Amino acid sequence: MITPPEKGFLKYQVPIDAYGNGGFRFGDMSHIGSLLCLPSGMHAWDVKTVQDITHDSLAKVWAEADQIDVLFVGTGDQLFVLEKPIKQTGRDLNIITEPMSTGAAARTYNVLLGEKRAVAAALLAVERGK
């Protein structure tokens, strides 16, 4: 039996070309909704608000921790302080976890990805962007 591909999945990491209007453009694709950019690829992320960014919503990140040095968490239009369990899990797994606005997170992710660093991003979709 063939399992259909996960919605919003690209099997490798690529830079974010644009963000806004509730989604992202990357890898000649567009995606409406939030996004996880992981070593395993680009994944749809079922998170709509900063309150939805929880330890559990980042389970895919934690599962790939051995391939990630830095995680940028895009918290929308403004900076949001992450829950203590998120920061603690990052420390326990040797992942630097940095919250910032989605725009700043996408731009910084692109720079580190271009430098071939072990980077990941969890990006909350925003309406305004670039």
pLDDT at 25: 95
Whether 8 is in a domain gets the answer: no
Whether 118 is in a domain gets the answer: yes
Domain holding 82: CATH number? Answer: 3.40.1230.10
> 6 pLDDT band (50/70/90 cuts)?
low
Whether 48 is in a domain gets the answer: yes
Q: Supply the pTM of this predicted model.
A: 0.91
Whether residue 8 is predicted with pLDDT greater than 70 in this model: the reply is: no
- How many structural domains comprise the chain? 1
Question: Which residues, in sequence order, are bridge partners of residue 112?
Answer: none
Whether residue 28 is predicted with pLDDT greater than 60 in this model: the reply is: yes
**Cα 79–Cα 84–Cα 86 angle in degrees, nearest 5:** 80
Question: For residues 63 and 66, what is the distance between their CA atoms, to the nearest angstrom?
Answer: 8
Whether 53 is in a domain gets the answer: yes
**pLDDT (tens digit per residue) in 54-83:** 999 999 999 999 999 999 999 999 889 999
Q: Which two tokens stand for residue 19?
A: 């963000």
Question: What domain range includes position 21?
Answer: 16-123
